[in-house]
A and B are shown apart, each in its own frame.
Chain A
Amino acid sequence: MPLDQEIEFTLNGGPRRVAVNPEMSALTMLRETLGLTGTKYGCGEGECGACTVLLDGRPVNACLLFAVDCDGRELVTIEGLASDPVAGRVQQAFVEYGAVQCGFCTPGFVMQAKTLVERHLGADRNAIARGIEGNLCRCTGYRKIIDAIASVASAK
C-alpha cells in the first residue's frame, strides 16, 4: 500500500490538513476521510455529476480529482454552501419548483446551478439545459430543475 501524503487546502472556507493515499479520489477523501457525505458517488467516472464540487470556484467531478491534487487549493462542497446567499436561493428554488424527487443527484445539481447563475445571470432555458448537461437525473425529467434554475437566473 502506498504511503499517505499530507496535504493542506481550504475546505468550505476553513483551513484543512489531512493525510491521504495518493491513489485516493477527492470524492473518497470527502466522504470517507472527512465524513462529508453530501457529495454523492453515482458512477465514479465523471459521467453523472452527483459528486460535483467547486475547485477554486469551478465545478468539477470529485470522483475524477485526486485528493492530493487538492493541495494548496480551495474546495467547496454542498455542506459549504449553508451560508452562501446564491446557493440558498438555488436550494430554495429547487424545493419550491419541485426539482427534487429521490434527491440523490440534487447536491450535484445545486453545485452546478449555483455556478451557472453566478456566471450567466439571465441565462435562458436552453443555456441552462446545456449548463446542466453533465448532471444526470432519473426521476424528474429535468424540466422542474430547469424551472428552478431559471427562476433564480432571471431574478433581478
Chain B
Amino acid sequence: MGKAETESLIGKRIPKMDAPDKASGKTRYIDDVNVPGQLIGRILRSSRVHARIKSIDTAAARALPGVHAVLTAADVPDQRAIGVSKDNLPFKGDVVRSLRDEIAAVAAETEEVAAAALKLIRVEYEDLPLLTDPLEALKPGATLIHPEREPVALKHPEALRPWYDPDNCQTGNIAMSFDYTQGDVARGEAESDAVVEDSFRLHYVTHCCMGVSGVIADFQSNGNLLLYSNTQVPFLHRREFAEVLGIDPGRIRIIQPPIGGGFGSKLDIYPFEPIAVFLARAARRPVKLIFTREEEFIASPTRQPVLIRLRSGVKKDGTLTFRSVTTLHDNGAYTSWGATTPFVMMQTFSSLYRVPHCDYHTVAVYTNNPYAGSFRGYGNLQATFAVEQHMDRLAEAIGMAPLALRLANAQNPGEVTPQGMHFKTCGLKECLSTVAERSGFEAKFRANRDNQRMPGTLKRGIGMASMLHVGGGAKIYPSDGCGTILKLDDFAHVTLITGASEIGQGSETVLSQLVCEELGLPMSSITVVNNDTDITPWDVGVHASRTTFIAGNSAIGAAKKAREKIFAAAAKKFDLPAEAFALRGGLLVRADTGETLIDLAKFLRSMHFSEKAELVMTSFYYEPPSHHQDKEFKGDVSAAYAWATQACEIELDTTSGMVKLLKVTGAHDVGRVLNRLGIEGQIEGGIVMGQGYALTEDLMVKDGRIRNPGFRDYKLVTAPEIPEMDISFIETMDGEGPQGAKGVGEAPAICMAAAVANAIANATGVRITELPFTPENVYRALAAARAQAGQRAA
C-alpha cells in the first residue's frame, strides 16, 4: 500500500468540511430557514434611555390586518427575568433602563406588516435621571437603576478608594464585585526600587458577527418547543429557556443552524429569544425573529468597558515585586457575562508573570448604557493592555530592555502560581525569544527610540506583549464535560455525534481529524452531527477556547473504544493478541510489519453479520481532577494554559495621528498544531480583530445612545489594512491535551492593543493609556504631551 495513506493527519492543512457548502451559498443560516406557516416577529424598543413607562397603547397595532399577536409585559404576567444576575425581564413594563429595552413585540404575516404595526404602538414615558458614567452612578444620592435589587455587599470597600470614599458613595448601583489577594502588597512595595502607576481606559466595541441575531420558535402539537437558535451553549440554554417559560427542559429541543459568527456573543440568553417564544405561544404559529443590522448594533452585547488603576513595582535587578489593581466596569443596565470578566482578568494580573504580591479589587456598576457580554478574550484584552504597558514602563524605570524584563519574570513549565494555577506546560519564554528573534525586536526598538527626537513626521515603532489564557477548558460551571457518540457502519463510514457546536471555528473538522487519526481512516469517511439537542450528547458549550481540548478528548475516547472493539474481534479471527493490530489507510494491518490483514470495511461487515457487534461507542470527557478554585479564587481554572507573545510594528504620522500597523510577529504555545490551516485562520482572524480593537473600532455611546450603529461609521478593518503576519507555533505537547493540543480560539486577539500601545510609545516617547488609537485620539495625546513638555521646559 502507498505511503501517503499511512501518514498522520495531525499537523496537516485540512480544509474545513463545511467550506464547500459555504462557498457555494448552499449553507442555510438561521435567516435562510423558513418554517411553514411562520409569522415574522419584530420588537418595539425604547426611545428613551431611562424612563418610567406611563402607558402603552397597542390597540391600533392589534387592529391592523395581518397582525396575529401584539404583546407587552402586561400580556405575559408569567415572564421571568433572564441573564447572569436575573435582572433582565424580557418585556419591560414599568421602567426602561437603556435604549435597547424591549417594550412590545408583534407577530405578523409579513415583515412590512410587522414594521407598520410597531409604528402604531404608542408609549408614554416619564424621563428619569440619566446615569451614563459609572463614576456618576457611584456618587452619593445617585438614582438607583435597579431599586428592586438587594445591594451587593462589598467585602473590600477599599476597591472604591481610587474613585470615592467608600463610606460616602452610592453602592446600591454596584452590580457585582470581585476581590483577590495574594501575599502582602505593602511588603512588595517596600522592597521595590521603582514603582509606576497609571490609569487605563478601555472603550466599547462589539462583536459585529456578519450574520445578524435571530431565532425561530415553533411549538409542536404536543406542546413541546422547537427552537432554531444561534446559541453557542445549547444545553445550558435549554435549561434557561425552561426556567423562563416555566416548562420542563425535556420539552425543549434546540436546533442550531450554522452560525454566522459567534466570538462569545451567543453565550447568554437575550430578551428577543423568550419574546419570540411568547409570540409563538400567543399566535399559535411559528415565529421567526431576525435583527436588522442597526438592531444588532443597538441590542447586542458589547465588550466590557473598563477603567483600570494599576500600580506595579520592580527591583533594580528586574524582579517584579507587586501589582495592585482596581478596576471599575461599566455594567450597563443589565448583567450579562461581561460583569464576570474580572474572573479572567485576575489570572493575567496574578500569573502572566511571576509576581509575589498582588491584590485586585473590582466593581461593576449599573448605568443606563448598553450592557456588556462575553467577547473573545473575556476581559483579557483589557487586563493585558494594562499589565503589558506596565512591563515596558517598569523596564524603562530601571533601565532594562523590555524583553529582558519579561524573560526575567516569565513563568516556567511546572510552576504553580500563588493563585494556584498549575502550568504543566508553558512556552512563554520560547514565545518571547522566538518573537524577539524573528522580528529583530531589540535592534528595532533601540533604533526607533533613538529616532524619536530626530526630524521627520513619520515615526516607526515596535512593541511587544504576551498573554496567558485558559487552554484546557474552563471550570466556570461545576463541570466542563462533553459527550460523544460514534457509530461505525459497514462501509467503514463513521458518524461522529458530538455535543460540541461548530460556530465557524472549525471544530467539526478538527474533531473528525482526531477520530480519523485513531481509526486510520481518511477524512472523506466521516460525517458530523452536532446541532440538535435531541440527538447530541451533553456539552457545556463553545466558550473559553475549550472545544478542541474538551470535545477533542471526548471524541478520541470514543474512537479508542471503537478501536478496542475492532482489535478484540480481530484477535479472535486472526489468532493474534489485540496489541498486534493497527488501523491504517482504511485497512486492518499488523502493527509490527504493516502487513495488510483485511480491508476495514469488509471486516466491519463481518463483525455486524457474524459477531453481532455493537459498533456504537459512547464516551464522555470531563476535566481532569485538580485543585478547583476556592472562594478566594485560588486554584486551577483550566487543565492547561495557552501562552503567546506578539510584536507589532507600526508607522505613525505625527501630523495626523494616523497609526498604520505594518507587521505582527507572533509566537503561540498551542500545545500542538492539529490542523495547520485551521489554526492559522484562528490566529490571523484574531490578530485582525485585535487590530480593530486597538486602532479602528469604537462603539460611540453618548447619553446612552449608540451614535454609530452601522458599518459606515463603526469601522471594521478591511482587507487592504491588514498587517504582514509572521506566526510561529511553539509545540509544548500538553500531557492532557488531545494529541498534545491546547485551546487557541481567544488567544490571538489578546495581545494586540497592548503591543500597539508599546509600539506607539517606542515611536514617539508618548504613552497613551486609552483606547482606541484612532488618528484623532493619537494626535490629541501627542499634542498634549508636547504641551506638557513645553511647560516643563518653560
Contacts and interface: CB of A to CB of B under 8 A. Distances in A.
B23 A44 contact: no
Given A38-B24, A103-B504, A142 B719 contact: yes
B140 interface: no
Contacts of A96: 15
A26 interface: no
A106 B15 contact: no
Interface string B235-279: 000000000000000000000001111110000000000000000
Interface stretch (B55-63, B144-152, B444-452, B676-684): B676-684
Contacts of A78: 24-25
Contacts of A82: 24
B346 interface: no
Interface stretch (B26-34, B411-419, B467-475): B26-34
Interface residues of B, number: 56
Interface in A63-102: 77-79, 81-82, 91, 94-98, 100-102
A104 B211 contact: yes
A132 B719 contact: yes
A28 B358 CA distance: 57
A47 B26 contact: no
B332 interface: no
Contacts of A55: none
A92 to B, nearest CB: 8
Contacts of A103: 18-19, 21-23, 27, 258, 260, 504
Contacts of B719: 128-130, 132-133, 135, 142, 145-146
A58 interface: no
A48 B210 contact: yes
A140 B687 CA distance: 9
B209 interface: yes
Contacts of A77: 25
B13 interface: yes
Nearest to B210: A104
B293 interface: yes
- State the main secondary structure of chain A at its contact with B: loop
A1 B112 contact: yes
Nearest to B748: A141
B692 to A, nearest CB: 9
Interface in A119-156: 126, 128-130, 132-146
Interface in B670-721: 677-678, 680-681, 684-689, 710-712, 716-720
B722 A141 contact: yes
Contacts of A129: 719-720, 722
Nearest to A126: B720
Interface residues of A, number: 53
Contacts of B23: 91, 94-95, 100, 103, 106-107, 110
B16 interface: yes
Contacts of A104: 29, 209-211, 260-261, 504
A101 B209 contact: no
B589 interface: no
A34 interface: no
Given A40-B29, A144-B680, A47 B712 contact: yes
Given A47-B711, A132-B719, A144-B680, A138 B263 contact: yes
Contact of B711 (A45, A95, A143): A45
A105 interface: yes
A101 B687 contact: no
A115 interface: no
Nearest to A140: B685
A142 B31 contact: no
Contact of A45 (B262, B293, B689, B725): B293
A77 B24 CA distance: 10
B440 interface: no
A10 interface: no
Nearest to A93: B23
A102 B27 CA distance: 10
Nearest to A133: B718
A84 to B, nearest CB: 11
Interface string B406-446: 00000000000000000000000000000000000000000
A19 interface: no
Contact of B261 (A94, A130, A138, A142): A138
Given A139-B681, A141-B686, A44 B293 contact: yes
Interface string B646-657: 000000000000
A48 B25 contact: no
Contact of A101 (B506, B717, B720): B506
B712 A41 contact: no
B711 A136 contact: yes
B716 A102 contact: no
Nearest to B504: A102
Nearest to A88: B24
A98 B506 CA distance: 10
B211 A102 contact: yes
Contacts of A142: 684, 688, 717-719, 722
B20 interface: yes
A107 B25 contact: yes
A42 B293 contact: yes
Contacts of B503: 102
A37 B211 CA distance: 13
A93 to B, nearest CB: 9
Contacts of B29: 40, 104
Interface string B590-601: 000000000000
Contacts of B112: 1
Contacts of B710: 43, 45, 47
Interface string B205-234: 001111110000000000000000000000
A76 B21 CA distance: 18
Nearest to A105: B210
Given A104-B211, A138-B209, A38 B506 contact: no
B31 to A, nearest CB: 6
A54 interface: no
Contact of A143 (B31, B678, B722): B722
Contacts of B302: none
B505 interface: yes
Contacts of B13: 98
Nearest to A135: B719
B788 interface: no
A98 B681 contact: yes
Contacts of A146: 719
B24 A81 contact: yes
Interface in B1-26: 13, 15-16, 18-26
Contact of B681 (A1, A50, A144): A144
B678 A137 contact: no
Most buried by B among A42, A91, A101, A128: A101
A143 B663 CA distance: 13
Interface in B744-760: none
Given A42-B293, A91-B23, A104-B211, A37 B684 contact: no
Nearest to B680: A98
Given A38-B26, A138-B210, A143-B722, A101 B711 contact: no
Given A98-B680, A105-B210, A79 B720 contact: no
Pairs of residues from A and B, 9 with the lowest C-beta to C-beta distance, nearest first: A38-B25, A102-B504, A103-B22, A78-B25, A104-B260, A141-B688, A47-B711, A37-B32, A141-B684
25 contacts: A38-B24, A41-B31, A42-B293, A95-B23, A97-B677, A98-B15, A100-B23, A101-B681, A102-B210, A102-B503, A102-B504, A104-B260, A128-B719, A134-B718, A136-B208, A136-B210, A136-B718, A138-B207, A138-B263, A139-B261, A140-B681, A140-B688, A141-B684, A141-B725, A144-B677
Given A140-B681, A143-B722, 11 more contacts: A39-B25, A94-B23, A95-B15, A100-B19, A102-B258, A103-B18, A104-B211, A106-B23, A128-B719, A138-B261, A142-B684
Interface of B: 13, 15-16, 18-29, 31-32, 112, 207-212, 258-263, 292-293, 503-506, 677-678, 680-681, 684-689, 710-712, 716-720, 722, 725
